[in-house]
Structure 1
Amino acid sequence: MRINFKRIDHFQICIPPGAETEARNFYIEILGLQEIPKPDYLKVGGGFWLEIADIQLHIGVENDTVSPKRHPAFEVDELEKVKSYLVDQNIRIREDRPIPDFERFSCFDPFGNRIELLGRITK
């Protein structure tokens, strides 16, 4: 099976606890990025989301320098088929809660790096 990657949806970087004001100053005031809404149930962990052209930058809060929150996320066609394919290949999968307009899951490379895959929910 060949996976048809459509685009990168978002990427996430992490900042230390208590650094959100400094991060907002840099990303919003200095770089001029636009803050966008973050789902309420994800706000508990801190951080905020930004938009860069049609890509999102998620700013997360972490103590650890090697964080499982850091990851690329790719929108793909036929998400369930992709998941089945990866499971058949013995790739570790983690189910993730849906976010507005998308179903999603994460898979991990042999080194433990997380890759999020998203499929748009058609209405």
Structure 2
Amino acid sequence: MITIERLDHIQVCIPIGAEDQARQFYTGILGFKEISKPEALIPNGGLWYQVANIQLHIGVENEINHSKRHPAFQVKNLEEARKHLVENGVRIKEDIAIPGMDRFSFFDPFDNRFEFLQYKAQ
């Protein structure tokens, strides 16, 4: 049997050489905390962030494929988060309603999709 302890990290990708643009978005707009990558992985490019109790790894690759894959982050104030993203020109996508939850998706400058969600009080 496999016993999962926790989610450690998720990875999305950006084009090679786009780290500065990624920092503007992930650090500047989202306010994520950049962390150092292990020395052995620095030559691969990309960035790492600590987001709550998981890490977001931003890798680089030649070809970016668009799909439904995405990480979802539970936030404390969904409407405040939405307002902040809209004010910063971030593209928002309204998602299909799910009972007991408010949510929406948004896209980074590289078309990676992210979901923010907030559970409704019961």
| TM-score between both structures, scaled by the size of structure 2 | 0.51
Q: Give the deviation of 1:45 after TM superposition.
A: 0.9
* 2:37 paired with 1:38: yes
Q: Secondary structure at the match of 2:23?
A: helix
Aligned-pair CA distance for 1:65: 2.6
State how 1:13-28 maps to structure 2 within 5 Å.
13-28=12-27
Partner in structure 1 of residue 58 of structure 2: 59
Residues in 1 aligned to 2:64 and 2:31: alpha-carbon distance in whole angstroms: 26
Question: CA deviation digits over 1:97-121, x for unaligned, max 9?
Answer: xxxxxxxxxxxxxxxxxxxxxxxxx
**In structure 2, how many angstroms separate the alpha carbons of the residues matched to 1:39 and 1:56?**
13
CA contact (8 A) 2:14 2:64 kept: no
Tell me the alpha carbon deviations over residues 27-67 of structure 1, each in whole angstroms, 9 at most, x when there is no partner. 0010000011101110001011001101000011100235x
How high is the TM-score relative to the length of structure 1? 0.51
Q: CA RMSD in A?
A: 1.9
Deviation of residue 17 (structure 1)? 1.3
Q: Which letter does structure 2 place at the counterpart of 1:57?
A: L
Residue 21 of structure 1, CA deviation:
0.8
Query: Paired residue for 2:6?
Result: 7
Whole-angstrom distance in 2 between the partners of 1:41 and 1:6: 26
Q: Counterpart of 1:5 in 2: which secondary structure?
A: coil
Cα distance between partner residues in 2 of 1:18 and 1:48? 11
Structure 2 stretches of 5 or more lacking a match? Answer: 66-70, 72-122
Identity over the aligned pairs, expressed in percent?
56
| SS in structure 1 of the partner of residue 56 of structure 2 | strand
